[in-house]
Amino acid sequence: MTRIWTIIGVANVARSVTWYQSLLGLPKTAPAHDDFGRIVAEDGTVLLCLHEWGAHEHPPLTSPDHATPGNGLLLFFWVDDFDAALPRARSLASRLDEEPHVNPNTGASEFSLRDPDGYYVTISAPEQG
């Protein structure tokens, strides 16, 4: 079995864990450490890891001042509860970067917003065909 753990640098791990759990409708759990947390699906699949900027001296995670957070990265979540995810997203962001629409490439409904650290996050419904 092979799995990928996407890790992003964040300013406040606890805040980001709460934000992603709220967006994705996951049970609230505290991060295991002050400087590292995981967003885990109900089946145990790790969806995303959150690492505090500057902790442990990992070269690409030293500081958001060295590059724009999220440059070249799109966090894309395919969710079964798209209609419920939309009001959760609206409660977390002052505005959506993309309002709900059908993606002509996939035929699926989606919307996009920014997380607290500026990462671009897209929520998509299952494909329609």
Q: Which residue has the higher pLDDT, 69 or 32?
A: 32
To the nearest whole percent, how much of the chain has pLDDT over 90? 71
CA distance 18 to 5: 18
**pLDDT of amino acid 58:** 66
Domains, the chain, with CATH or none: 7-124 (3.10.180.10)
| Each residue's pLDDT tens digit, 76-101 | 999 999 999 999 999 999 999 999 99
Q: Which residue has the higher pLDDT, 115 or 68?
A: 115
Check whether 69 has a pLDDT greater than 80.
no
pTM of the model: 0.85
Give buried/exposed letters for 92-118 (b at 16+ CB in 10 A, else e): bbeeeeeebeeeeeeebbbbbbbbebe
Rg (C-alpha) for the chain, rounded Å, is 15
| Each residue's pLDDT tens digit, 11-59 | 999 999 999 999 999 999 999 899 999 999 999 999 999 999 877 776 6
